[in-house]
Amino acid sequence: MKNRTKTLALAAVAAAVLLSSGFKASAAGIERVYGENPMSPIAAGVSVPPGYTTFFISGALPKPVTPAANGQPADFGDMATQTRSVLDGLKATMDKMGVGFGDVVAAHVFLDPKADFPAMNKVWAEEFGTATQPNKPARAAFRTSALVLPGAMLEIEFVAAKKVSMKKKK
């Protein structure tokens, strides 16, 4: 019983820290509800208030570490390498749109049946729910055997939301 009480107390402290810092990031006004596990890298739910622009970011696949050549298939690296490649590609696309990881409200992760989910989650946690970027999106992850790129172990797509001020026309 003492261990459970201690665990619950630590969880409450961690949740309070996460929740108090979560609303100070670039997506102020967007509400994120966190589940029972404060260490989870995702939100249980996210709501976007009126007045925000919604951005739909298409699914991204990893870039090959070694391109296909001489009849050999491309090598995309291990799960951590592929996850980093996909997140870097999504970040580049989002930069062009004027949004960042702090604005992501929902994510869908499509995984090959052989994909290492904990390795993906470890890289994910480097970008979401950190001290510098505390916002966590709602997320669903699916195992699929039909990724479009042979050798790829994941594809990720995002939905982001950001309050965009309307400039007055002169």
Identity of the residue numbered 78: D
Q: Which domain range does residue 10 map to? A: 2-163
Tell me if 94 sits within 8 A of 158, measured CB to CB.
yes
**Number of structural domains, the chain?**
1
pLDDT at 7: 38
pLDDT at 27: 64
Residue-level pLDDT, tens digit, the chain, 170 residues: 444 444 334 334 333 333 333 333 346 788 999 888 888 889 899 999 999 999 999 999 999 999 989 999 899 999 999 999 999 999 999 999 999 999 999 999 999 999 999 999 999 999 999 999 999 999 999 999 889 998 999 999 999 999 976 554 44
Cα 140 to chain center, whole Å? 10
Q: Is residue 138 included in any domain, yes or no?
A: yes
pLDDT at 28: 72
Tell me if 107 sits within 8 A of 158, measured CB to CB.
yes
Cα 120 to chain center, whole Å? 10
Neighbours of 132 (CB within 10 A): 8
pLDDT at 60: 96
Q: Is residue 169 included in any domain, yes or no?
A: no
Residues in the chain: 170
Q: Is residue 168 included in any domain, yes or no?
A: no
pTM: 0.78
Q: How far apart are alpha carbons 13 and 123 in whole angstroms?
A: 24
Q: Is residue 68 included in any domain, yes or no?
A: yes
Identity of the residue numbered 49: P
Residues 6+ apart with CB under 8 A from 89: 60, 61, 62, 63
Give the DSSP H or E segment for 58: strand 52-60
Q: Is residue 99 included in any domain, yes or no?
A: yes
pLDDT at 38: 80
Q: Is residue 170 included in any domain, yes or no?
A: no
CATH code at position 26: 3.30.1330.40
pLDDT at 167: 57
